[in-house]
Amino acid sequence: MKKIVLFTALLCVALSAGAQATPWTLQDCTNYALDHSLTVQKSALQVNQREIDLGTARARLLPGVSANASQNFSFGRGLTADNTYANTNTTNTGLSLGADMTLFNGLRNKNNIELGKLNLQAATRDLEKARDDIRVAVAKAYVQILYNEEILAVARRQVEIDSLQVVRLEAMRDNGKAAEAEVARQAATLAQSRLTAVQASNNLHIALLDMTQLLELPSPEGFAVASPVHQEPELPLTSPEAIYEEAIGIKPAVKAEETRLAYAERNIALAKGGYMPTLSLSGGLGTNYYTSSGYPHAAFFTQLSNNFSQYVGLSLSIPIFSRMSNRNQVRSAKVSYQVQQVQLDQTKKQLYKEIQQAWYNAVAAHEKFKSSLEAEKAAAQSLTLVQAKYENGKATITEFNESKTQYLKAASDLAQARCEALYQAGLIDFYRGKEIQL
């Protein structure tokens, strides 16, 4: 029975460890980051706030209704109904219900509603931009992990090769075919290779930590990414100008600034409304109850009925001189519109620069990948030949180490070039409105 319980416990631990080590694809990382990013959540709350602001602007079209009740007590000498002064105690109870509604205020209510809609659109675009930024950041962190994994694999191959050579030289030394100095040099080379592997492992841990922090995960323990199938990066065929024409119509950063430009234009109309008159409608009901000590008074409900009154009124306010306030508000709104025009142009130019850089980086990365691929093949062939010569005693340990170092450097360069080319190609697709694929 104890063996069964122990086996079950070990099985659960193994399954738990296996579940934690399940590698995350790029899509998994992106989806999780979009759901848990605090930046995205903050932008989503801004959208909710703009929805509330729009509802408030629309509610200003409705009439305002209020009810009032008052109770006053008066003590001491006062004027009586007979127009004489006497010491009396009086009470006065007032009840009223009133409503008011703006009929016209220079279209300010309408313009405020339109401004609320534009604010909501801008906030929605900002949310989309925040999500795009997360996608790019996750892809970049993902590529960094892949690169560090490849560098670590190269470093471990180096340790493996150097370890085998140390063992080989030790055997040759024991047989009198190698000097102690050769063994010491190779042991030093092995120690340096192990140090390189440790550094590569640390770099991988840092990359994993950066990704888990981006995903808002509590710890990088048990986190791993899935290695995509190695494919040759494609050379971008579309020109930067054509990519820009696609991007300018879909990227949320540009759409947000265009919306803010429309907001600034509408704000000018809102400011001009200050020159126009305001017409308001009001109406209400009211009654009161009054008593004075020493004098007869009607009953409470009788007075409320007798004193019941109604009123309806129109109020017209015409601005004549506002100490230049309206004029300056219009001028300020026009300046804000010009500033937003400049901001929109800057955003478009920044987008074009980013696309240009990404395009040229993609071309350069593709060429670097092709060259690195050829260099890695040549270095691998050279290492194979030199290793065969060295094992047959026709090459020195120095020649072997130099060939090995050249191969490992070529392998590292190839790993870096492949990851960079895949990322830059994915970035080009991203600017065209596609998902980043590696």
pLDDT score at 345:
97
* pLDDT more than 90, % of the chain: 60
- Give 326-331 contacts, CB < 8 A, sequence gap 24+: 326/271, 326/274, 326/275, 329/271, 329/274, 330/268, 330/271, 330/272, 330/274
Q: What value does the mean pLDDT take over residues 47-73? A: 95
Amino acid 74: pLDDT? 84
Q: Taking 50 as the threshold, does the pLDDT of residue 13 lie above it?
A: no
Split at pLDDT 50, 70, 90, the class of 4 is very low
Q: For the chain, which domains are there?
A: 2-36+105-276+319-431 (1.20.1600.10)
Residues 413 and 193: their CA atoms lie apart, in Å, by: 17
Long-range contacts of 316-324 (CB under 8 A, 24+ apart): 316/277, 316/278, 316/279, 316/280, 317/277, 317/278, 317/279, 317/280, 318/277, 319/274, 319/275, 319/276, 319/277, 322/274
DSSP state of 177: S
Which residue carries 């604010």 as its tokens?
119
pLDDT of residue 186: 84
Average pLDDT over residues 318-336: 94
Rounded to 5°, angle at Cα 138 from 410 and 134: 145
Q: What is the mean pLDDT of residues 303-331?
A: 93
Residue-wise pLDDT tens digits, 185-201: 889 989 998 999 999 99
Mean pLDDT of the region 388-413: 84
pLDDT at 79: 64
216: its two tokens? 């808002």
pLDDT in tens, 70-118: 999 888 776 666 677 777 788 899 999 999 999 999 899 999 999 999 9
pLDDT of 240 above 80: yes
pLDDT of residue 7: 38
First vs last C-alpha separation in the chain: 50
pLDDT of residue 10: 39
- What pTM value is reported for the model? 0.82
Residues 129-179: pLDDT tens digits?
Answer: 999 999 999 999 999 999 999 899 989 988 988 898 888 888 888 887 778
Residue 9: what residue type? A
- Mean of the per-residue pLDDT values for the chain? 88
Q: Is the pLDDT of residue 67 over 50?
A: yes
Cβ atoms 224, 332 nearer than 8 A:
no
**CA–CA separation, 234 and 363 (whole Å):** 9
User: 95 or 15: which carries more pLDDT confidence?
Assistant: 95
Query: Is 346 exposed, middle or buried, given 0-12, 13-18 or 19+ CB atoms closer than 10 A?
Result: exposed
Q: What is the CA radius of gyration of the chain?
A: 40
Angle among Cα 330, 270, 274 to the nearest 5 degrees reads 65
Among 50, 52, 88, 94, residue whose Cα is nearest residue 71? 94
Cα–chain center distance at 147: 25
CA atoms within 13 Å, Cβ hemisphere of 111: 18
Whether residue 409 has pLDDT greater than 90? no
- SS3 at position 301: helix
Structure confidence at residue 231 (pLDDT): 63
Q: Is the pLDDT of residue 438 over 80?
A: no
419 pLDDT tier (thresholds 50, 70, 90) = confident
From the list 305, 302, 130, 139, the residue with the least C-alpha distance to 225 is: 139
Rounded mean pLDDT, 231-246: 82
Residue 215: band (very low, low, confident or very high) from pLDDT cuts 50, 70, 90: very high
Which residues have CB under 8 Å from 260's CB, separation 6+?
Answer: 118, 122, 340, 343, 344
The closest of 195, 201, 199 to 159, measured between CA atoms, is 195
Has residue 219 got a pLDDT over 70? yes
CA 134/CA 130 separation, integer angstroms: 6
Q: Averaging pLDDT over each range in 184-193, 272-281, 413-422, which range is the top one?
A: 272-281
CA quadruple 253, 255, 261, 267: dihedral, nearest 10: -110
Q: Which long-range contacts (CB under 8 A, 24 or more apart) does 66-75 make?
A: 66/97, 66/98, 66/99, 67/96, 67/97, 67/98, 68/94, 68/95, 68/96, 68/97, 68/98, 69/93, 69/94, 69/95, 69/96, 70/94
